[in-house]
A and B are shown apart, each in its own frame.
Chain A
Amino acid sequence: MSDKLVVQGVGKSFAGFKALDDISFSVAPGEFVALVGASGCGKSTLLRIVAGLETASQGDILVDGKPITGPGRDRAMVFQDYSLYPWLTVLENIRFSQRLAGNVCGETSREAENALERSLLLLELMGLERVRDSHPNVLSGGMRQRVAIARALLSKPALLLMDEPFGALDAQTREVMHDLILHILALEKGTILFVTHDVEEAVYLADRVIVLAPGPGRIDSVWKIDLPPALDRTQDLKLAPEFLAVERQIVGRIRATSGIQSDLKALKRLTGATSSRA
């Protein structure tokens, strides 16, 4: 089977500053790939280029073999926060793409019926039935992100892009969301490109973790994660020695490439100076 997404020699410069340099990788259909890296490595920029929200300075992005020219329905994106429409109810938010001409054009009544059925199904799957007619301002952060994910999944995108989707959630809610997303993906057979700064999250969710290094952003290493199938994963896995070993190695790579180290000599001088004064 050919690759769902191909990133070929992508580079990006902002006003003389090189943010990304010669990034190449591909994602197979049904694969979950996570991008991690020290802050400033350009992982979010890379995701936004794939989404078509930013243009690459060099290189090509192919989705199903076709080069992308801008944002499109084939690549839905989930943002960290503030992406829901507060004036619409939960169900209306999920069905937002149905209001757009590109989706309504030439749509038969049977297709419309299917879309409605699918939105109700997603609502049920995400555990949002109770709040289907509520507005986002009364929802918890976790619920809001579930709405955002359901909205992105409605039109069956070829590729689901997620930009730190659980970054604004508390640790407990995040764990619930992890299992939820794994279950949904197992059923939906989606292909995911996921950006996070949380290595544990990346290892738990992804089939492959790509570590980016900053200055300029480039691929440092690629880690194949061998975990049981999505539906069999449980939170206990995060305590397994193999899991922790991979996590530690990836964290080590990020730390090594971040260029930030605590300088023990300087620290001693600092503490020495204050103690001599005291």
Chain B
Amino acid sequence: MSRPVPFSKSRYFPAVLGFGSLAAFVLAVELLVQVDVINRFLIPPPSEVIAAIPRVIMQEHVLSRFMLTAGEALVASVLVTIFGVAGGVLLYQFRLLRLATETWVAAIAAAPLVLMYPLYLVIFGRNATTIVMMGFTAGLAPIILKTLEGLAGTRRVLINVGRSFNLTRSQQFWKILFPAALPTIFVGMRLGLIFALINIVGVEYLINFGGLGQLINELAERFDLPGTYAAICFVILVSIIVFMLTERLERWLRPAS
């Protein structure tokens, strides 16, 4: 005999609490702005922000901007996957090279590479190439490291199975090591994509060129407050969706995990 479970213990309560408190917060802000406790030139009333969304979408060609940013991200991802995985495989195959350079790669992964964007502006000019290169640079090191980690972390017993069948080095690599490392490589690719995307949108904002990042910059420079807030919310939404999609993709590609 089980009693009906009170709502506070149901599985939807946490989600309701989370979104509910967010909605309550937005409402509170709306109220405070309307009664002038909060300066509406610092924080526009949420109602205006929401009203600005359709205007921004229509007038600012949000769709084409989105496609531009997405295109840059895609190109950067492809480049970074090719070079990153290849780099990781190279380092794995040549032990001396790995011993010599692995710490360097790790150090680069930790450095604020995005600060090089003025350099890229000079080298490539103020265009999409700079943005793509910036995304590429930022996402490269994580993929190399993750590929290396995946290959090096193959369970000893799997390698022994291969040796017991007398596989050649090439077969050993392509039939055992690489497939075993794929899950970790996918994690690396996802990390690389995320790093690249963050840097791409960021640099778009900074150099005032490109898609979504540039939109925010432009609206801010026009002092269109509700528009700026609306655009930022939109970018947040896009980033969340991309993140969720890559999560699903990763889980689909590695069901065992």
Q: A and B: partners?
A: no
Binding site for B on A (CB under 8 A): none
